[in-house]
Structure 1
């Protein structure tokens, strides 16, 4: 069997560095290797043996395995929940765009422009969510340039939402400065608010316009409201994952457990392995510190790390899909169904088939075509029921 390889390259996963946490933990591995070499040197080059009973490997190894399993499982669950939330954004965006383009009529050119503007707002919603989660709201200004009349902090103030950096002072002075600047800073941030929520408000207003002004049925407005609610719910899930990390106490104690295990490991292996102890300790450190590093990256799936969710790709894919949808005219199903290229009733022209055909004959034609299809597939599968369907087809 060939080794598992990355679909985008030629190197097997075991030899890859891109996307690996090895570069970030390399300093720890080097340190623990030098530490193990020091222990081995003292034991082998002097008469003082530093070896201890290897029974601690079993005891500490069980605790380390349990701790790392908890951390990696929890981190992956958060990563996967973030992926589900972004798929919800994609699904609700498609559904909302479909409702806008198909179920909302266009009576004037103004109506067409309003619908196009609403879909443009929907296009930038994923990008606004991405920058909101990464807390780079000022970078979202380039998306707001498409709708510059939105009253956002990025377009009005033009400055980052984070407070300006200050030189280090005492805690008392920092608290005093914070109280003095709180009023002005709150005024600035109030202009920003939350860009995804603001976009959702405009999309909800579009649903009200479609129902009250365009005369759409109430269910259309209700479905638009449900789609917008789905978008804001997905935003809430992402914000919950972002602002509710694994408790600090867990991270501290798990890190302490791993370090105690790694620092005690050379003393337990020195008597049996001798000069091979540093190599084995470094390999063990690669696995232990690697799992801890992976969990640390996956804990926040919305960052820029190689193992985080590719939010830029999600945003571009959603925007492309919605752009294609708005590039097409409002779909009229009757025009599509009666097109000459439609082969629903066979390979001949549609108009000739339908002229002079009663509803009973149309139903009979549909039944015959369906039975022919069933018989063909059953014959391919070698099913004896194919003959039964052929008999039904002849009777029809």
Structure 2
């Protein structure tokens, strides 16, 4: 994600990073070249103009389609951010609640903290089509890491390890079944939030809507010079450039934020969120715990 100050205008006016310019420049320039060819043919050989009424009406409908497309994508982006906000909160709640009952068992508490910190790294990697525990792969027991990484769903395997630590603490008499159930509710919510993210990632905008919008965009932009050439002359090239830049840019913004869990410039900063969680939980690590103490509880 690009960090910026929303109160500053001209400082970012020349930015290319995150502005969709690189993604749409080929499409826009193709429209510009085509419009120049239309004007040339109109001026030198034969009249190429058509009435602009159809484009006026189609432009209104196309604008509504683009607004709906962008709003739908932003809803997915914002829902993804809320789900990851829930992951942040539940990791803190689990660490806070378990710390009260496990203060006399630093080995179990440190194991729980490490597996809890590993969950967001595993979740982010899974949403990006990979498998990774981040820096926790060096802090957790090697055999446990190997088993988790070899599982079919790595974040789910991490969640099972977290529940196993809580069960080990209950069997040691650190708390009763009711407290275990309450603490495990945080683990359940982590899995629920990840499921919500997977729902967003695996349910794209319907194909028919996307293709219809793109076909309409191409037809509109490539026929626009014919509607403008009689009144605008060579200024048709500039007008076509502006319209194509605006329309293609809006559509590309919707494409980029439709799946907010990737690594594009405008996607959610999952790596930063994971590092924040890791830092928060590392600050709670018992000083009595040794780095490999999680093996018995895991």
Structure 1 unpaired stretches of 5+: 156-190, 330-396
Partner in structure 2 of residue 17 of structure 1: 16
Per-residue CA shift, 1:328-350, capped at 9, x if unaligned?
A: 79xxxxxxxxxxxxxxxxxxxxx
Match of 1:239 among 159, 175, 198: 198
User: What secondary structure is seen at the aligned counterpart in 1 of 2:5?
Assistant: coil
Counterpart secondary structure, 1:325? coil
* TM-score (normalizing by structure 1): 0.68
Partner of 2:151: 192
Deviation at 1:142, TM superposition (A): 6.0
Give the conservation status (yes or no) of the 8 Å contact 1:128–1:143. Answer: no
CA contact (8 A) 1:43 1:50 kept: yes
2:269 to 300, 310, 313: 310
Residue 36 of structure 1: CA displacement? 0.3
Distance 1:6 1:12 in 2: 10
2:145 aligned with 1:144:
no
Offset at residue 120 of structure 1 (A): 0.7
- 1:233-286 CA-partner distances (Å, limit 9, x unpaired): 011001111111112111111100111110111011111110000111011111
- Find the counterpart in structure 1 of residue 233 from structure 2: 274
Separation of aligned partners in 1, 2:228 and 2:31: 14
Closer/same/farther in 2, CA of residues 18 and 11 from structure 1, 3 Å limit: farther
Runs of at least 5 residues in structure 2 that lack an aligned partner in the other structure: 289-298
> How far off is 1:143 after superposition?
4.1
Give the number of the structure whose alpha-carbon radius of gyration is greater: 1
SS in 2 for 1:150: helix
SS of structure 2 residue aligned to 1:17: coil
Asked if residue 284 in structure 1 is aligned to residue 243 in structure 2, the reply is yes
What is the TM-score normalised by the length of structure 2?
0.89
Distance across 1 between alignment mates of 2:54 and 2:202: 38
SS at match of 2:214: helix
Query: SS where residue 69 of structure 1 aligns?
Result: helix
Match of 2:296 in 1: none
- State the partner residue of 2:123: 129
- Give distance in 2, aligned partners of 1:140 and 1:326: 18
Q: Structure 1 residues 97 and 28, CA, compared in 2 at 3 Å: closer, same or farther? A: same
What residue in structure 2 maps to residue 28 of structure 1? 27
Secondary structure of the 1:51 match is coil
1:158-213 deviations in whole A, cap 9, x for unaligned? xxxxxxxxxxxxxxxxxxxxxxxxxxxxxxxxx42111101111111222222232
- Counting matched residue pairs gives 284
Which whole-Å CA distance do the structure 2 matches of 1:99 and 1:316 have between them? Answer: 21
CA contact (8 A) 1:25 1:289 kept: yes
68, 86, 96: which one aligns with 1:70: 68
Give 1:45 deviation, angstroms. Answer: 1.7
User: Conserved in 2, the CA contact under 8 Å of 1:121 and 1:203?
Assistant: yes
Q: Distance in 1 between matches of 2:30 and 2:147?
A: 47
Paired with 2:43 and 2:147, the residues of 1 have a C-alpha distance of 66
- Counterpart position of 1:100: 98
Q: Which residue pairs with 1:86 in the alignment?
A: 84
> Offset at 1:11?
4.6
Match for residue 53 of structure 1 among 51, 67, 80: 51
1:93-147 CA-to-partner distances (Å, cap 9, x unmatched) read 00001112122241xxxx311211111111111111010000122x547643432
